[in-house]
C-alpha cells in the first residue's frame, strides 16, 4: 500500500530549513579542517623527532613523491621514525631513497624497508642478509659507517622511479597528486567554508524566529 504524502507541518518545515544546509556545510568544513590538521601533524611529527624543523627533509619528501609511488605522508612518517632513532639529517636523507628502491625491488613495504635498512647501522644484516648476499661481505664497522646503504644504493638504484613509470605506478602518483591538490585547496578554502557555515547558521536561526 502506498503511503499518502502529507504536507509538512510548520515545525517540520522549520527543522528542514535550519538543519539541511547547515549539516552539509559543517561536514565539508570538518573534512577540510581534517586535511589541514593532518598537514600540521606531519610537520610537527618531523620537528619533534629531530628536535627542530627540517625544511630539507620536507622538501625531500615532496621531491621523492614526484618520482615514486610513495606519498609524501608515508615518506615523512619514515623520516620521523629515523629521527626518533637519533639518525642525523644527513643519514636520513641517504637512507630514505635507498629504502624506497629496496621496497620497489623486493616488494616489501616502505616501512619494512626503512626499518631493515636502519638496522644495518647497528652492524647487523638481519633479514637483508638473505635478500642481499653482498651485505654479508661487509664488516660490522663498515655497516655501522653506512656502507650497507651504499651497497644497496648501487644494487637497487632507480627501482622506485622505474616502478612509478608502470601503469600501477602512474595511478598511485596520480592519487598522490590529487591528494596534495586537495590539501592545498583545503588550506585556501577552509576559512571561506567556515565563514559560510556560520552565515547559513545565522540565516537558519533568523528563519526559525520568523516561523515562531
Q: How far apart are CA 212 and CA 208, in angstroms?
A: 7
Following DSSP, what letter does each residue of 85-121 receive, concatenated? TT--HHHHHHHHHHHHHHHHHH---HHHHHHHHHHGG
CA 161 to chain CA centroid, nearest Å: 19
One digit per residue, the tens of pLDDT, for the chain of length 212 reads: 444 445 555 565 555 545 555 555 555 556 656 655 665 565 565 555 565 567 899 999 999 999 999 998 899 999 999 999 999 999 999 999 999 999 999 999 999 999 999 999 999 999 999 999 999 999 999 999 999 999 999 999 999 999 888 755 455 546 655 555 555 444 544 555 455 555 555 665 555 555 55
- The CB density around residue 159, as the number of other CB atoms within 10 Å, is 18
Q: How far apart are CA 177 and CA 200, in angstroms?
A: 32
pTM value is: 0.61
- The CB density around residue 171, as the number of other CB atoms within 10 Å, is 11
Amino acid at each position: 500500500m502506498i503511503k499518502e504524502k502529507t504536507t509538512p507541518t510548520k515545525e517540520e518545515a522549520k527543522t528542514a530549513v535550519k538543519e539541511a544546509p547547515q549539516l552539509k556545510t559543517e561536514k565539508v568544513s570538518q573534512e577540510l579542517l581534517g586535511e589541514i590538521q593532518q598537514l600540521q601533524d606531519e610537520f610537527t611529527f618531523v620537528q619533534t623527532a629531530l628536535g627542530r624543523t627540517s625544511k630539507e627533509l620536507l622538501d625531500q619528501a615532496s621531491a621523492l613523491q614526484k618520482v615514486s609511488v610513495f606519498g609524501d605522508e608515508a615518506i615523512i612518517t619514515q623520516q620521523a621514525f629515523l629521527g626518533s632513532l637519533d639518525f642525523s639529517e644527513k643519514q636520513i636523507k641517504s637512507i630514505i631513497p635507498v629504502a624506497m628502491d629496496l621496497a620497489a625491488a623486493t616488494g616489501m613495504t616502505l616501512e619494512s624497508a626503512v626499518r631493515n635498512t636502519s638496522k644495518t647501522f647497528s652492524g647487523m644484516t638481519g633479514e637483508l642478509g638473505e635478500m642481499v648476499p653482498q651485505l654479508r661481505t661487509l664488516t660490522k664497522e663498515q655497516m655501522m659507517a653506512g656502507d650497507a646503504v651504499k651497497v644497496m644504493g648501487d644494487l637497487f638504484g632507480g627501482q622506485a622511479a622505474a616502478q612509478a613509470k608502470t601503469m600501477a605506478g602512474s595511478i598511485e602518483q596520480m592519487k598522490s597528486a590529487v591528494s596534495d591538490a586537495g590539501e592545498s585547496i583545503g588550506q585556501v578554502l577552509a576559512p571561506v567554508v567556515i565563514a559560510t557555515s556560520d552565515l547559513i547558521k545565522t540565516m537558519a536561526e533568523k528563519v526559525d524566529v520568523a516561523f515562531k
